[in-house]
């Protein structure tokens, strides 16, 4: 099974609140490029359907006037036309207006080693209808839409108007498919990066495709939020018509995988109002689309900007809707079982998996966790293809232990998306990394809750070790005041793989909490952990969970001793 990679989908999406002021204007600019003017540029199937689906949502679902929804499709989406339309928007909107700008098409970035272009750090570059892919660096760069050079000045104008804007950017800082080297044995996602043919140009120079990433630049906007489909090291996926049987879309038309997930959440197919307040916040929208993409095996993780550490205005918690829409109905029931797919050479696990009440064996498809044999080892992969861990081939007991761990993690992730009454937040800093960190890159973990709670932070590393990170001393054994932030600083270290950070919140004193003192690792059957797992499995009131992933990727960097 193969999916075409949509190399860039830049979307600036504003969804209108049902209680917006009567005088507020509603404006949309939808841009999609499926057929390019340069015959050397490969066409994409999804963009025209993405644009049409969003147009229907805006007009039919959210009351936009057809006259205020501008569409630039294919040959109408030239570089000049796109920039001109954005400038016109900035000239006619006022404070309180609501704006949508959506761009779907090819793109590249500095981290795209196939492009060889000195695109600025922290900026994507997008190919308009009249873009070219052969020539000197100067010629190709002049025909691109570069975020920092071309879009930033126009968005600054929009920001200064006071119009309310939510930017949904699929692969906004479109990077290399660095995770594609570790794909699932049952699914294949070949890169469709548009290869650029560049001749020598001494006027332009700069190291491109480099391994070291500088810190992300400060977030520049006050009234614009961004929801991107992927981090700067991920590509977004496009579901072509030939693949609709394997990956059906909402309307049975080709779409970007992220856009399809977004439409499903907004339509109520995916529960998203985790705190049950009747509103769908930007943060809840990100969590819901992220979970849906992961479940369907797509290898990119939606990211929300401004990052948590740069959000003094609370833009991440801004509500999309003022009353409860279908999309915001909280979920009910129990977490689904962990779906396990076994590859060739791992059949010894089959009877063990069948005996586990919280697991389901998957045949002929993609599981939440997949086990495959590779070079004399068993490789555990997440559904989206991320490597989890490696163990000696044939070690069924160790494999079952890891599967039980991930069944618990999945149950907590389901709980996070369906019931988070305390406003528990667990964020990685810098947020722009999307959970992808190369060896030696610094990171921080920040957690907080909207009401007084006792907090526990655990790290499940790629080897299955359970490391208690907080509390780890007597002074931390107390409840935390509402909105007090706990920050823990770290560095991405070997080995390559996936760590899960788990925050557990309790309104009452957690049983056996003091047993964490002095422990560097916990066993899965540790009395304290067993008691907490029981509380969460029973769905007890007074508990909440948050989970995030750290994907450690090979690189040249080193952590301090």
pLDDT tens for residues 345-381? 998 999 999 999 899 998 876 788 889 998 899 999 8
With cut-offs at 50, 70 and 90, classify the pLDDT of residue 191.
very low
Closest among 180, 31, 158 to 107, alpha carbons compared: 31
With cut-offs at 50, 70 and 90, classify the pLDDT of residue 307.
confident
pLDDT value at position 299? 67
**Average pLDDT for 150-168:** 88
For 22-97, strand residue ranges (E) read 26-32, 69-73
Q: Is the pLDDT of residue 553 over 90?
A: no
Topology agreement, domain 4-328 and domain 420-553: no
Q: Is the pLDDT of residue 103 over 90?
A: no
**Average pLDDT for 245-263:** 89
Secondary structure string (H, E, C) spanning 185-200: CCCECCCCCCCCEEEC
Least confident of 235-239, 323-327, 381-385: 323-327
pLDDT value at position 1? 32
With cut-offs at 50, 70 and 90, classify the pLDDT of residue 414.
confident
Tell me the H-state helices in 223-331.
257-266, 282-295
Q: Is the pLDDT of residue 144 over 60?
A: yes
Alpha-carbon span 300 to 285, nearest angstrom:
15
Distances (CA, A) of 180 to 176, 184, 188, 314, 440: 9, 9, 9, 35, 21
Q: Is the pLDDT of residue 481 over 90?
A: yes
pLDDT value at position 114? 60
* CATH number attached to the domain at 4-328: 3.40.50.1460
Alpha-carbon span 301 to 384, nearest angstrom:
10
**Residue with the larger pLDDT of the pair 90 and 271:** 90
Degrees (nearest 5) of the Cα angle 337, 340, 345?
160
Q: Is the pLDDT of residue 207 over 70?
A: no
Alpha-carbon span 364 to 339, nearest angstrom:
12
Least confident of 65-79, 115-129, 148-162, 217-231: 115-129
Report the 10 Å Cβ neighbour count for 371: 25
**Average pLDDT for 331-349:** 83
pLDDT value at position 85? 94
CB proximity list for 252: less than 8 A, separation 6 or greater: 244
With cut-offs at 50, 70 and 90, classify the pLDDT of residue 184.
very low
Q: Is the pLDDT of residue 3 over 50?
A: no
Point out which residues pair with 457 in neighbouring strands: 470, 503
Least confident of 288-297, 502-511, 520-529: 288-297
Least confident of 90-99, 181-190, 234-243: 181-190
- Strand, coil or helix: 507: coil
Least confident of 101-115, 371-385, 493-507, 539-553: 101-115
pLDDT value at position 505? 94
Task: Pick from 161-170, 211-220, 292-301 the range whose average pLDDT is largest.
Answer: 161-170
* CATH number attached to the domain at 420-553: 2.20.130.20
The CA radius of gyration of the chain, in Å to the nearest whole number, is 23
Q: Is the pLDDT of residue 205 over 60?
A: no
Least confident of 205-214, 255-264, 389-398, 552-561: 205-214
pLDDT over 90 for what percent of the chain? 29
Q: Is 218 exposed, middle or buried, given 0-12, 13-18 or 19+ CB atoms closer than 10 A?
A: exposed
- Whether 245 and 264 have beta carbons less than 8 Å apart is answered as no
pLDDT over 70 for what percent of the chain? 81
Q: Is the pLDDT of residue 24 over 90?
A: no
pLDDT value at position 19? 36
**Average pLDDT for 456-469:** 91
Gap between the terminal Cα atoms of the chain: 44
pLDDT value at position 121? 62
Q: Is the pLDDT of residue 170 over 80?
A: no
Point out which residues pair with 446 in neighbouring strands: 427, 487
pLDDT value at position 356? 93
pLDDT value at position 102? 84
Degrees (nearest 5) of the Cα angle 233, 237, 238?
150
Point out which residues pair with 374 in neighbouring strands: 377
- Whether 33 and 47 have beta carbons less than 8 Å apart is answered as yes
pLDDT value at position 43? 87
Q: Is the pLDDT of residue 22 over 60?
A: no
**DSSP states along 126-194:** E--TT--SEEEHHHHHHTSEEIIIIIHHHHHHHHHHT-EEEEEEBTTT----GGGGG--TT-B------
- Give this prediction's pTM: 0.74
Rounded to 5 degrees, what are φ and ψ at 238? Answer: -120, 130
pLDDT value at position 11? 38
For 96, left (φ over 0), alpha (ψ -120 to 50), or beta? left
pLDDT value at position 351? 94
pLDDT value at position 116? 64
Distances (CA, A) of 509 to 50, 455, 456: 49, 10, 11
Least confident of 150-164, 339-353, 486-500: 486-500
Alpha-carbon span 129 to 36, nearest angstrom:
5
With cut-offs at 50, 70 and 90, classify the pLDDT of residue 106.
confident
pLDDT value at position 232? 63
With cut-offs at 50, 70 and 90, classify the pLDDT of residue 209.
very low
Q: Is the pLDDT of residue 536 over 70?
A: yes
Q: What is the mean pLDDT of the chain?
A: 79
Query: How far is it between the farthest Cα atoms of the chain?
Result: 67
CB proximity list for 418: less than 8 A, separation 6 or greater: 271, 274, 330, 331, 332
**Residue with the larger pLDDT of the pair 50 and 385:** 50
Give the domain ranges of the chain.
Answer: 4-328, 338-408, 420-553
């Amino acid at each position: 099974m193969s999916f075409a990679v949509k190399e860039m989908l830049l979307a600036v999406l504003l969804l209108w609140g049902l209680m917006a002021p009567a005088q507020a204007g509603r404006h949309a600019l939808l841009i999609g490029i499926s057929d390019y003017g340069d015959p050397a540029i490969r066409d994409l199937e999804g963009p025209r359907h993405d644009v049409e689906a969003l147009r229907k949502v805006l007009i039919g679902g959210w009351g936009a006037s057809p006259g205020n929804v501008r569409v630039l499709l294919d040959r109408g989406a030239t570089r000049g036309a796109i920039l001109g339309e954005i400038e016109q928007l900035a000239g006619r909107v006022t404070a309180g207006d609501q704006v949508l700008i959506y761009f779907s098409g090819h793109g590249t970035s500095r981290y795209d080693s196939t492009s060889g272009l000195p695109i600025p750090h922290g900026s994507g570059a997008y190919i308009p209808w009249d873009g070219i892919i052969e020539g000197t660096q100067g010629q190709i760069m002049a025909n691109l839409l570069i975020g920092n050079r071309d879009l930033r000045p126009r968005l600054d104008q929009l920001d200064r108007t006071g119009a309310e804007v939510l930017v949904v950017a699929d692969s906004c800082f479109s990077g290399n498919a660095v995770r594609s080297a570790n794909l699932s044995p049952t699914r294949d996602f070949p890169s469709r990066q548009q290869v650029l043919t560049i001749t020598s140009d001494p006027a332009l120079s700069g190291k491109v495709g480099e391994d070291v990433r500088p810190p992300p630049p400060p977030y520049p906007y006050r009234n614009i939020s961004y929801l991107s489909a992927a981090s700067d090291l991920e590509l977004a996926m496009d579901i072509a018509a030939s693949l609709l049987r394997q990956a059906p879309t909402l309307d049975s038309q080709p779409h970007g995988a992220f856009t399809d997930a977004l439409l499903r959440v907004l339509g109520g197919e995916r529960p998203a109002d985790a705190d049950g307040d009747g509103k769908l916040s930007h943060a809840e929208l990100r969590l819901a689309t992220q979970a849906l993409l992961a479940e369907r095996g797509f290898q990119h993780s939606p990211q929300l900007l401004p990052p948590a550490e740069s959000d003094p205005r609370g833009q991440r918690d801004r509500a999309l809707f003022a009353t409860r829409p279908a999309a915001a109905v909280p979920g009910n029931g129990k977490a689904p079982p962990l779906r396990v797919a076994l590859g060739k050479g791992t059949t010894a696990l089959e009877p063990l998996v069948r005996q586990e009440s919280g697991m389901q064996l998957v045949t002929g498809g993609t599981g939440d966790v997949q086990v495959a044999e590779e070079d004399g080892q068993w490789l555990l992969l997440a559904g989206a293809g991320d490597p989890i861990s490696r163990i000696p081939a044939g070690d069924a007991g160790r494999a079952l232990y890891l599967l039980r761990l991930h069944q618990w993690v999945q149950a907590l992730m389901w709980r996070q998306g369906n019931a988070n009454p305390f406003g528990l937040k667990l964020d990685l800093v810098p947020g722009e990394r999307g959970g992808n960190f190369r060896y030696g890159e610094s990171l921080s973990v920040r957690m907080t809750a909207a009401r007084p709670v006792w907090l526990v932070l655990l790290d499940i590393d790629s080897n299955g070790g359970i490391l208690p990170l907080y509390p780890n001393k007597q002074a931390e054994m107390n409840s935390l005041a509402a909105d007090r932030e706990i920050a823990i600083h770290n560095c991405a270290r070997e080995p390559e793989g996936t760590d899960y950070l788990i925050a557990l919140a309790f309104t009452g004193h957690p049983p056996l909490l003091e047993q964490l003192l002095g422990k560097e690792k916990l066993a899965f059957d540790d009395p304290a952990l067993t008691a907490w797992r029981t509380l969460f499995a029973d769905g007890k009131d007074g508990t909440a969970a948050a989970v995030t992933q750290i994907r450690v990727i090979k690189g040249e960097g080193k952590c301090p001793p």
